[in-house]
Structure 1
Amino acid sequence: MINVMRKHSIEQFVNCERLVGVSISSDDKRVLVGSDRSGVYNAYSVSLADGETVQLTHSQDNLMIPIGYFPDGRKFLYRSDQGGNELTHLYMQSENGKSVDLTPGKEEKAEFHRWSRDDKYFFYESNKRDSRYMDLYEMDIDTLESTLLFKNEDGYMVAAISDDKKYIALLKPRTSNDSDMFIYTEEEGVKHLSEHIGDEQYQPIAFDADSTCIYYLTDKDHEFLYLSRLCLSTGSSEIVAKEEWDILTARFSPNYKYLYYYINNDGKVEVKVIDSKTGKNVEIMDFPQGQISGLSISKGERYMAFLLNRSTAPANLYVYDFELKELRCLTDTLNAEIDEHDLVDARVIHYSSFDGLEIPAIYYEPRLEEGEKAPALIWVHGGPGGQSTVDFSPLFQYLVNHGYAVLAVNNRGSSGYGKSFFKAADLKHGDVDLADCIEGKKFLIGTGRIEEDRIGIIGGSYGGYMTLAALAFQPDAFKVGVNIFGVSNWERTLKSIPPWWEAMRELLYKKIGDPYEQTDYIRSISPLFHADKINKPLIVLQGANDPRVLQVESDDIVEKVKENGVPVEYIVFEDEGHGFTKRENQITGYGAIREFLDTHL
């Protein structure tokens, strides 16, 4: 006999606090962080001394994600959109609580880049000139006047700006597997830095302190991305850091004392901090196990703040003191009504697919009595090209807590497992990637703990598409499908991508298919045109304001499947976009998913 976990409600799981966006004030006294403890993301100030938390914004509908304190430590910057439409604006809030929209264009989308080293400006990108492209601006933090620094007329992505503002590093993707880096100067214009043949990635990320070198990621002659630097005067390159997995990104601390980078280690994110002068690793005492995000080093470079979560606990805010070599946790975000021992640890597993290719996955298994077997779900992440990692998921833990096993598959085409694996599903979506998910059933059945005739498929965005593809193209593979804002008609979706995705348009066409030149193929992989084959129960969740997967995608597939006489449930969230931002909607959506599964699986 084993200890049976206590059951918890969806309200209890969703009422775990979620944190985002970490920034330390210049006086080293407070951390600015975003939290959804009010039901929607707002900005909060957390004291470094004692963890005392003060709410700074009070939105009840639109999320307000903090970016950072202004140098005076009294004002701060945050971003917000309207109902999930992704037209983010940048706002400044003063001590008196008054907010000013710094990028007020009606159809404008603005994205913060970074503060200037001299604390006089911040850099940001905006599409106010041309809705298709993001130009680079600087804004004077005293006058709040903006100046155009780079007019983007050729689909570049701004990657880095040198401290002296002489250089702007640019990224241009050719395909999902091939990209180039460029450098812009006012005197010479745009210069190509990465001439190459074949598929290679070149992603600039930062300049050094004196603007003599550019740091960049590349996978030249290697399966994984590694960190290199290019000397601008000589054109010579050297490797800075190389791991057995992808280096996701790298950053310098404000005064360049430290260089830190993230590693995607088999579904787990790790961080290494190195001394910029010596190149040696900085040992962090008592560093906890878990997924790290949002790392920020203070202006004086004494403190490092970051978020850390694990599969059984949501992200908490930690602060490390480099001088005292002391690590402290300032928050406790797991709902006090939930005992962490009632949750299950996620396991990274691998299984062989139909052609022998090894497929990585994250496995959550409920606690079972001797001889007991559970129903199960194959979860497919977003993308294409996304990845499931060992994160805390209220939905996963809720389902597992109520007896469902979850296998989060990283099918071929997922990121994080090398460039060959990443491009293995190009122009084969709904086919080989779906076959990898179906093969995941064999792993589940092979555990001896899963009911083989009670396995469903679930996913969001691209994962929602995969759910529909499974039901339409392999109608006997799964017993039910859960589609969360997923694509049903690639032809329409690829033709209606948001204008600010213009730089990514050709990349998507080369990865998925060209809706203008490959119409027959695009329709062959679109479940909407094959909906008459769907004969298993389906639930669909959709945001009315979704700019990526339009509501009509879900409207159409629901209507078609209903014609088959199949049980279909459909929930539209009027105040959401591409994903859930509000606790109330998560409770409604996730609760409906479980009720659907209890009924049909």
Structure 2
Amino acid sequence: MIGVKKKYSIEQFISCERLVGVSISPDDEKILVGSDSSGVYNTYAVSRTGNDVEQLTNSQDNFMIPVGYFPDGRNFMYRSDQGGNEITHLYMQAEDGTSVDLTPGKEEKAEFQRWSRDDKHFFYESNVRDPRFMDLYEMDIESLKPTLLFKNEEGYYVSAISHDKKYIALHKPRTSNDSDMFIYTEEDGVKHLSEHDGDVQYQPVAFDLDSAHLYYLTDEDHEFQYVKRLCLTSGNSEVVAKENWDILTARFSPNHKYLYYYVNNDGKIEVKVIESETGESVEIANFPEGQISGLSISKSERYMAFLVNRSTAPANLYVYDFEAKELSCLTDTLNPEIDENDLVNAKVVHYPSFDGLEIPAIYYEPHLEDGEKAPALIWVHGGPGGQSTVDFSPMIQYLVNHGYAVLAVNNRGSSGYGKTFFKAADLKHGEVDLADCIEGKKFLIGTGRIDENRIGIIGGSYGGFMTLAALAFQPDSFEVGVNIFGVSNWERTLKSIPPWWEAARELLYKKIGDPYEQTEYIRSISPLFHAEKINKPLIVLQGANDPRVLQVESDDIVEKVKENGVPVEYIIFEDEGHGFTKRENQIKGYRAIREFLDTYL
């Protein structure tokens, strides 16, 4: 018999601190980090020793996530939107606490690129000229005046800028599985660098210091993405780093002493650091177990700061001293009221689907008494093309802590498992990927620990669509559905995507379907047009400011399902967008989900 574990409230789980956005100050003494300890993400400065923490922004409503210190080390930059509308602006905050909106256009969306090597400028992207496309600008740090460097009229993505500013590397997707890379110079315009046949990904990531080589990701002749570099004079390319899993991105430290890259290893994100000159790996003793994110190397290249989370604990901030070879943890973000031993470690599992294809998933089994069988949920990630990993999820741990097993399925079409797996659901969404999720029930039942008559389905965004698809197209498969801002009508969603997604519009049409040319098919996979078949209890959560899945998507499906006489609960957050960032809203929403499950599952 397993000892009874303590049960925790949703307030206790949400009181775990979440960290994002790491950046080291020019003098190596402070680390900027975003924290939601105030209830909303604000920017904090943590001393390198961890002995001192200072809150620098004081927002009560909109997130203020750090980008980094200005080169003088006094002012810093942060990004923020309004109520989750995703129209992010860049702001400079001075030492006295006053802020300046650097990108003040009312509908202007801006994204930081990097600081210039001469410390006099920074590069950023903005759609202020044309809402559909992100142009590249350079802003003078003294005058705060922007200069247009690249006018983007063809839907390119700006990927890298050479240190001498001569080259701008671009990439442009043809489909989700096929893309090209280009290089722009003022003299020659845009030049295509990746002539190829078939589906191959090409994405630039960085130039070397002397602007002689372009580093890029590709899956050319390989199932997974790896790093190559192209000599810009000879046109010859060579492999820099190759793994048996996808390399997600690669970056240089400020003076290019180190090259680091992220590896997506079967649902776990790892980071590898190599010395640029020798290619030798940098081994870090006592490296913590968990997923790495937010890595930042200081300008002096002595220190490296990063976040590490694991399935039973939220991300903590670490600093590594390359010279002293010392690793320090600066934070303790798990709510002290929670004993980590009461939580459940995520297990990476695989099971066969209807056609024999192996489906990866992340499994959480609650602590059970001998002979006890738990209710369970199939959890579907966002996307399409997203992935569930072994991150800490306060919502999942809350549900598991209260007796629910959770199987987070990485159905075909998920990223992280090779290009063949990734494109296996194209133009078959809500069909083969849904079948993979339903087959997950067999895995759950096969453990001998799950009540086969009490299995529900839950998901957000694309996962919310999959929840609705399961209830509408396979109405006997699950006992309940939890839809968190999910698409109910693909025809409307694909026609109303935000203007700044213009470069990805055709990509989505080729993956899901064209709402103008394939209307009948699009309606056939849209749950709203089949809502009369939904006969199981449903709860829906929605942000009123969501620019991706409009509130009307949830309004309509709730209204339709109510006509069936089925129990339906609906919660709208007026101050949220595509994802709930405020603690009070998370508490309300996640508590409502558990109460709904307690009632109907």
Helix, strand or coil at the partner of 1:87: coil
2:293 corresponds to which letter in structure 1? Answer: S
1:34-45 equivalences in 2 (<5 Å):
34-45=34-45
1:414 corresponds to which residue?
414
2:489 corresponds to which residue?
489
List gaps (5 residues or longer) in structure 1: none
Helix, strand or coil at the partner of 1:60: coil
Q: Deviations over 1:335-354 (max 9, x none)?
A: 01001001000000000000
1:89 corresponds to which letter in structure 2? Answer: H
Deviation for aligned residue 1:378: 0.2
2:127 corresponds to which residue?
127
Helix, strand or coil at the partner of 2:240: strand
Helix, strand or coil at the partner of 1:385: coil
- 1:150 correspondence with 2:187: no
- 1:196 correspondence with 2:196: yes
- 1:213 correspondence with 2:228: no
Helix, strand or coil at the partner of 1:396: helix
Contact 1:316–1:331, Cα closer than 8 Å, also in 2: yes
Deviation for aligned residue 1:4: 1.6
- 1:176 correspondence with 2:176: yes
Contact 1:319–1:328, Cα closer than 8 Å, also in 2: yes
Helix, strand or coil at the partner of 1:79: strand
Alignment partners' CA distance in 2, 1:288 and 1:580: 29
1:340 corresponds to which residue?
340
Helix, strand or coil at the partner of 1:376: strand
Alignment partners' CA distance in 2, 1:217 and 1:51: 39
1:363 corresponds to which residue?
363
1:440-519 equivalences in 2 (<5 Å):
440-519=440-519
Alignment partners' CA distance in 2, 1:201 and 1:580: 32
1:144-543 equivalences in 2 (<5 Å):
144-543=144-543
Alignment partners' CA distance in 2, 1:272 and 1:348: 21
2:337 corresponds to which letter in structure 1? Answer: E
Deviation for aligned residue 1:52: 1.3
Alignment partners' CA distance in 1, 2:92 and 2:355: 54
Alignment partners' CA distance in 2, 1:576 and 1:52: 32
1:434 corresponds to which letter in structure 2? Answer: L
Moved over 6 A (4+): none
1:580 corresponds to which residue?
580
1:137 corresponds to which residue?
137
Alignment partners' CA distance in 1, 2:456 and 2:151: 49
Q: Deviations over 1:381-440 (max 9, x none)?
A: 000000000000000000000000000000000000000000000000000000000000
1:597 corresponds to which residue?
597
1:203 corresponds to which letter in structure 2? Answer: Q
* TM value normalised by structure 2: 1.00
Q: Deviations over 1:295-343 (max 9, x none)?
A: 0000000000000000000000000000000000000000010010010
Contact 1:51–1:331, Cα closer than 8 Å, also in 2: no
2:101 corresponds to which letter in structure 1? Answer: D
Helix, strand or coil at the partner of 1:471: helix
Alignment partners' CA distance in 1, 2:331 and 2:240: 35
- 1:76 correspondence with 2:79: no
1:55 corresponds to which residue?
55
Contact 1:262–1:269, Cα closer than 8 Å, also in 2: yes
Deviation for aligned residue 1:285: 1.4
Deviation for aligned residue 1:5: 1.2
2:61 corresponds to which letter in structure 1? Answer: D
Alignment partners' CA distance in 1, 2:3 and 2:120: 59
* TM value normalised by structure 1: 1.00
Alignment partners' CA distance in 2, 1:65 and 1:335: 22
Helix, strand or coil at the partner of 1:165: coil
Alignment partners' CA distance in 2, 1:112 and 1:528: 38
Alignment partners' CA distance in 2, 1:4 and 1:451: 20
Contact 2:81–2:89, Cα closer than 8 Å, also in 1: yes
2:553 corresponds to which residue?
553
Contact 1:257–1:277, Cα closer than 8 Å, also in 2: yes
1:310 corresponds to which letter in structure 2? Answer: R
Deviation for aligned residue 1:135: 0.1
Deviation for aligned residue 1:233: 0.1
Alignment partners' CA distance in 1, 2:450 and 2:53: 44
1:445 corresponds to which letter in structure 2? Answer: I
Q: Deviations over 1:115-145 (max 9, x none)?
A: 1111111100000000000000011111101
1:253 corresponds to which letter in structure 2? Answer: S
Deviates further, 403-412 or 113-122: 113-122
Alignment partners' CA distance in 2, 1:308 and 1:594: 28
Alignment partners' CA distance in 2, 1:220 and 1:109: 33
Alignment partners' CA distance in 1, 2:460 and 2:236: 44
Contact 2:488–2:528, Cα closer than 8 Å, also in 1: yes
Contact 1:171–1:203, Cα closer than 8 Å, also in 2: yes
Deviation for aligned residue 1:24: 0.2
2:169 corresponds to which letter in structure 1? Answer: A
Q: Deviations over 1:159-193 (max 9, x none)?
A: 00000000000010000000000000000000000
1:243 corresponds to which letter in structure 2? Answer: E
Helix, strand or coil at the partner of 1:508: helix
Helix, strand or coil at the partner of 1:545: coil
Deviation for aligned residue 1:148: 0.2
Helix, strand or coil at the partner of 1:466: helix
Deviation for aligned residue 1:275: 0.3
1:78-117 equivalences in 2 (<5 Å):
78-117=78-117
Deviates further, 50-59 or 4-13: 50-59
Alignment partners' CA distance in 1, 2:540 and 2:498: 22
Deviation for aligned residue 1:49: 2.2
Helix, strand or coil at the partner of 1:122: strand
Deviation for aligned residue 1:581: 0.8
Alignment partners' CA distance in 1, 2:277 and 2:150: 32
Q: Deviations over 1:502-557 (max 9, x none)?
A: 00000000000000000000000000000000000000000000000000000000
Helix, strand or coil at the partner of 1:147: strand
Deviation for aligned residue 1:591: 0.3
Alignment partners' CA distance in 1, 2:382 and 2:537: 22
RMSD: 0.4
Alignment partners' CA distance in 1, 2:439 and 2:567: 26
2:246 corresponds to which letter in structure 1? Answer: D
Helix, strand or coil at the partner of 2:383: coil
Deviation for aligned residue 1:2: 1.4
1:118 corresponds to which residue?
118
Deviation for aligned residue 1:3: 1.5
Deviation for aligned residue 1:495: 0.1
Deviation for aligned residue 1:51: 3.4
Deviation for aligned residue 1:99: 0.5
Alignment partners' CA distance in 1, 2:470 and 2:117: 51
Q: Percent identity?
A: 84
